[in-house]
Amino acid sequence: MAPELNEDCLSHIFNYLRQTADDIAILYPCALVNRTWCKASMPILWSNPWLIRNYRGSDNSDLARRRELLINAYISNLPQNSKESITKVQQNIKATQRNSAFDYASFLKHLKLTSFGYSVKYWIDRSVKNGTIHQGSKKIIHNLIIEHVIKLLLTRSTSLRSLDLRYCDGEMSECLEILASVLENTTDNIDCLIYLKDFMYSGSNHIMPRIFSSLTSKCQNIRQLGIYGYRPTDNFINFIDVQKSLNDATISCERLNSFSDWTTNEFSCAISEKSKSIIRLSVENICFPLDFLVNFANLEELYLRSFDHIFSREGWEPLARLPLKSLKTFYFQTQLCQPLEFLDLFAQFVENTAGELRHITFLTGLLNLVLLDTRQFITSIAKNCPNLEVYEGPMMENDVDQLGELLRSCTKLRTLHIYLMGIEDYRPTFDFLLTQLSVSSAPDLEVLKISGKCLVYEQTVDFFFNTRRNSGKQISFHWDTYVECVGNVKKVCRNYQQLGIVKEFGFIANLT
């Protein structure tokens, strides 16, 4: 008889399942196997309970029911004095106050305040519907539950790792107000905040200065900071100043904002103080001057999303001078065509990265409005990125030699996503590039994607797959809505899938 897995082994397995599954509920059946499986799965199930999703084919009532069970479990964990405070307002809640077998609150690692707030809202709505709570006491009970459960979570959690305070506007602003009060007035030690690593917030909320004031003395080991809807707020600069391990920063706005004084305001100065330790920076939808990036000499990952505010060559020239010698990932996305006109500057930028780049993504929403000279950009990647594993970006149908050079130099390339450029009234063909892919060596290529208004022919696809018979590695082949397949391309893909050469294939609506 095979030996039983011990609790440590089961924990590793369950953690893997949690990380690879869309819905943490996949672990629910594991908890029902036996006592050992239950003990191993519960801390993982309840580390981030806000990951619950609707089952496929189920309606919203299923999600509401699961959220109701979540709040019931936390109410059962409340100390007696908290339960008594609630029952003074509503006697009928006694039915939910039975003691539980587990201290669910102690398992919490991740607190997403909006998800918690909506879970309480659904719990209240269902309680009113079934008569457990009177409509008149709905708001009072709502705030009491939030107050007592938030306090429970913060005082019983052994180590809170992430705190997400985004989107706490409108009806959820009360959750933020109550959190601020709990942080300010709780006499018990909130030791779990010492371990906080990830913190995200929306900077537009007026309650945030109070929260920053409380967190500054408790949380000094933040590694990942997400600022959404950025506005300078009181006490935020002090909060940044005390951080000892900040290495990942996201600065984002819901809509494009201008920061003409970016390099002189207090926020940019505070970020500059931490710039040497930051290795991952994401800037989204704000007017951000590229010359400010010179402060981030140790960056390994740079994400510039919705970067739609620079219109002139002078605005892009600082990019060509950036000495980011440690950069491994460069992700760029814009809806404008101007950056495509300055690809020589991006080529120089790639050259300055000293050969460390592993991932390049260069996306634009205007794929088929201009004919461009992409040769210098592709050639620079081929010459300066020997360790490249992923390229997603523009290419012209005649860049055959440049693609061949890229494939010969970047032998570790695993993912190739080509955005085929062409004018609006002309459909370029992908056949020239696909033929080059067929005759060039790309042994590690696992994913090939095509975007843009282009043509791809059945015969060329067949030739490409046929050349990979002896590669020993399956390939996935996908195209977007704009690609026109001439002939029965799907049939060819299906035939080679049966032969074990194609792993996956077909149309994908939004490759980006």
pLDDT band of 94, cuts 50, 70, 90 = low
Phi and psi, residue 303, nearest 5°:
-120, 120
Q: Rounded mean pLDDT of the chain?
A: 84
Residue 249's H or E segment, with its range, is strand 248-257
Residue with more model confidence, 80 or 215: 215
Predicted local distance difference test score (pLDDT) of residue 113: 94
31 in Cβ contact with 37 (< 8 Å):
yes
Residue 360's H or E segment, with its range, is strand 359-364
Res. 211: pLDDT tops 80 = yes
Domain boundaries of the chain, sorted by first residue: 1-45, 48-246
Structure confidence by residue, pLDDT tens digits, 318-346: 999 998 999 999 999 988 777 778 899 99
Q: What is the mean pLDDT of residues 25-34?
A: 71
pLDDT band of 507, cuts 50, 70, 90 = confident
Closest by CA to 120, choosing from 50, 169, 189, 170, is: 50
Helices and strands, counts by H and E, the chain: 18, 16
244 in Cβ contact with 219 (< 8 Å):
no
Residue 303's H or E segment, with its range, is strand 301-305
Q: Which of 38-42, 105-109, 436-440, 448-452 has the lowest mean pLDDT?
A: 38-42
Q: How far is CA 10 from the centre of its chain?
A: 27
* CA terminus-to-terminus distance, the chain: 50
Res. 365: pLDDT tops 80 = no
One-letter amino acid identity for 169? D
DSSP annotation string for 183-196: HHH--S--GGGGG-
Q: What is the mean pLDDT of residues 60-89?
A: 79
pTM comes to: 0.87
Closest by CA to 394, choosing from 412, 359, 413, 368, is: 368
Predicted local distance difference test score (pLDDT) of residue 228: 84
How big is the chain, counted in residues? 512
Closest by CA to 132, choosing from 75, 98, 90, is: 90
Structure confidence by residue, pLDDT tens digits, 394-406: 999 899 999 999 9
Give percent of the chain with pLDDT exceeding 70. 85
Predicted local distance difference test score (pLDDT) of residue 265: 66
Q: What is the mean pLDDT of residues 272-295?
A: 88
Counting Cα atoms < 13 Å in the Cβ hemisphere of 440 gives 22
